[in-house]
Chains A and B, each alone.
Chain A
Amino acid sequence: MTKLKRIKKYLFAVPVVLAVAMFLSSQALALTCKVTPSTIPISLGYHGTKVQITGEGLDAPDLIVQIHSPPGEEHLKYKGKAGGIFWMKLGTMTFKNVPGVYLVYSTRPSHELLSPEKCAELSIGFDALRNKAEIESNLKDLDRDKWLTEFMKFKKVEHLYLEQSGNIKVDSANHSYELDIDWPFEAPPGEYDVEVFAVRDGNVVDKADAKIKDHRVGIEEILSHMAFEKPALYGIIALVVAIIAGFGVGMIFKGGGAH
């Protein structure tokens, strides 16, 4: 009797212990994401950089990592045949709700990992981007599909859009992953979102986020600030530098006495 009483006394603690154990186990397997370096300084000799994305708590065989700037507008010129003969810029085309930079990395091609519906729901991959994008133009009979394909092609040539699979190293034993990327120097200064999705059996089972920021430093920052905030002074400096350089080199050549 006393034994049963003693058991009953501690019975209330069972759910608490279970809850703590579940919490701890879920904590141990929560997906993490770390970006190194998380801040990229754009200095005078900058030509892009290596960025490493690592994380732990991976409890799925596949991963999708996407890096993007906030969705915005891109104003471009479209080319076409003028008078049926000459190729030239005919007008403006505005792509709305598209990120300026969009880089997608995955363990396997993303269409093998997630269904198109899932991709659309979670905004993962280029098909999802296409679905959300809008086009505004004075072009008659605008072929949305054709111009979105052209847009993707244009951004890929500029190294601002990328889709790559197979270069994420997954360590199943340690539940960790590692992705090394070449951060494009073409990416303009700004803040970018890094999203990591753990995928198992066609479903996203976990997600982690981080940020990458690239910003101008030193002379790059000073010049850019001056160009936009003090344009008259900037223009005068540009001219003075040019005139001094021009006459200076002229003087040096005279000094050489070549003629």
Chain B
Amino acid sequence: MYVYLPIALTSVSLWLVVGLGLLVGLLSGLFGVGGGFLMTPLLMMIGIPPTVAAATDANQIVAASASGTLAHWRLGNVDFKMGLLLLVGGFTGGALGVHVIKVLRATGGADFLIKMTYVIMLGVVGTFMFFESLNALKKQKAQAQMSEAERSAIQEKKKKKASKKGMLSSLPFQINFEKSGVTHSAILPIGLGIFVGVLAAIMGVGGGFLMVPVMIYLLRMPMHVVVGTSLFQIMFTCVEVTFLQAYQNHTVDIVLAILLLAGSTIGAQVGTKLGKKLHGDQLKILLAIIVLGVTVKMILGLVLEPSLLLAHGGGH
């Protein structure tokens, strides 16, 4: 069964596209990532023009993240206060990043920067998460074999370490984020939001795979709150991107988006339920493997000679 896409100007298999949506929605619900870094190349592989693939992907992420946010909100996993501050930063950073790309396109070398930022960021994030989660899993195993006294001593040490925040605690506008169980200056999430927003705009993605590690390692939020809050923030970012792409570039294919979101909304719900059954570190290690897989694929694409030396504009 085939469906003709009015903006992409191509015909696709209905089940293939719904299946892709389901797969990416599953990842979205599991890890709190929008899946843009995965979906856009997959859509390009089935013949969707790059500009349409990126814009339509943002549209379907709105649905998947709305579905995921609702599911996580019911489980009490969304820190709205933190999400809003990250969003303020993300919007500012996004606008800055778009400007940087405009300047670079005018001077040349934008594609090189985009590709390199992509590979480096994916590689660094993936490697760090992989080893960090592996260590955490090893520690858990070791802790399980420890005596009660040893365990309480380690907990005490951790608490002392956590109370020493140094410079960050001296920043103004300290806010207690009850849902995440952390206290930070409002400047920190806004600043990190700007950082991720700039990178996301340069790379042309929602930035979920960057925001998740930022929340875990820099904002010290618990994994399950991270996933819900990330989805909440991604939903708004993609609303902005979808509207702008439809309004300025006419590249959102609503038929393609409906097919994708039919799969991704269900996938996001299944992913959320599956995520509840997995341990936080297991989730992190799975995400790290996927991110590293994409990095390896990108590196191979950069090093090996392509079969075609011409391509359509846009995309990664």
For A88, the chain B residues whose CB sits under 8 A away are 111-112, 115, 302
Residue from the set B59, B115, B265 with the largest chain A CB neighbour count within 10 Å? B265
Q: In the complex, which of the residues B10, B111, B115 contacts A186, with contact meaning CB atoms closer than 8 Å?
A: B10
Residue from the set A91, A224, A228 with the largest chain B CB neighbour count within 10 Å? A224
A48 and B11: CB pair below 8 A? yes
A238 and B67: CB pair below 8 A? no
Query: Considering only CB atoms and an 8 Å cut-off, how many residues of chain B contact the other chain?
Result: 63
For A188, the chain B residues whose CB sits under 8 A away are 9
Q: In the complex, which of the residues B108, B245, B302 contacts A86, with contact meaning CB atoms closer than 8 Å?
A: B302
A239 at the interface (CB under 8 A from B): yes
Residue of A nearest to B244 (CB): A235
Q: In the complex, which of the residues B11, B63, B303, B311 contacts A79, with contact meaning CB atoms closer than 8 Å?
A: B311
The CA of A241 and the CA of B255, in the complex, are separated in Å by 11
For B60, the chain A residues whose CB sits under 8 A away are 242
Q: In the complex, which of the residues A231, A235, A250 contacts B269, with contact meaning CB atoms closer than 8 Å?
A: A250
Knowing A79-B310, A242-B63 are in contact, say whether A259-B273 is a contact too (CB < 8 A).
Answer: yes
B70 and A78: CB pair below 8 A? no
A63 at the interface (CB under 8 A from B): no
CB distance from B249 to the nearest CB of A (A): 9
A227 and B308: CB pair below 8 A? no
B254 and A241: CB pair below 8 A? yes
Chain B 248-266 interface residues, beta-carbon cutoff 8 Å to A = 248, 250, 252, 254-255, 257-258, 261-262, 265-266
Q: In the complex, which of the residues A43, A48, A75, A243 contacts B62, with contact meaning CB atoms closer than 8 Å?
A: A243
Residue of B nearest to A46 (CB): B4
B250 and A79: CB pair below 8 A? no
Knowing A245-B258, A245-B261, A246-B261 are in contact, say whether A44-B310 is a contact too (CB < 8 A).
Answer: no
Q: In the complex, which of the residues A46, A48, A93, A232 contacts B310, with contact meaning CB atoms closer than 8 Å?
A: A93
Knowing A47-B2, A220-B6 are in contact, say whether A243-B308 is a contact too (CB < 8 A).
Answer: no
Instruction: List, sorted by A's number, 17 A–B pairs whose CB atoms are closer than 8 Å.
Output: A46-B2, A47-B2, A47-B11, A75-B313, A76-B310, A88-B111, A88-B302, A147-B309, A150-B308, A154-B311, A223-B7, A228-B250, A237-B254, A241-B254, A242-B59, A243-B63, A259-B273
User: Top 6 nearest A-B pairs by Cβ distance?
Assistant: A246-B66, A235-B246, A250-B70, A249-B265, A47-B2, A242-B63
- A246-B66, A246-B265 given; name 16 further pairs at CB < 8 Å: A47-B2, A76-B311, A77-B310, A77-B312, A154-B310, A189-B9, A219-B6, A220-B6, A234-B254, A235-B243, A238-B59, A238-B242, A241-B63, A241-B261, A245-B67, A245-B261
Q: Which A residues contact B (CB, under 8 angstroms)?
A: 42-48, 75-80, 82, 85-93, 147, 150-151, 153-154, 157, 185-186, 188-189, 216, 219-221, 223-224, 227-228, 231-232, 234-239, 241-243, 245-251, 253-254, 258-259
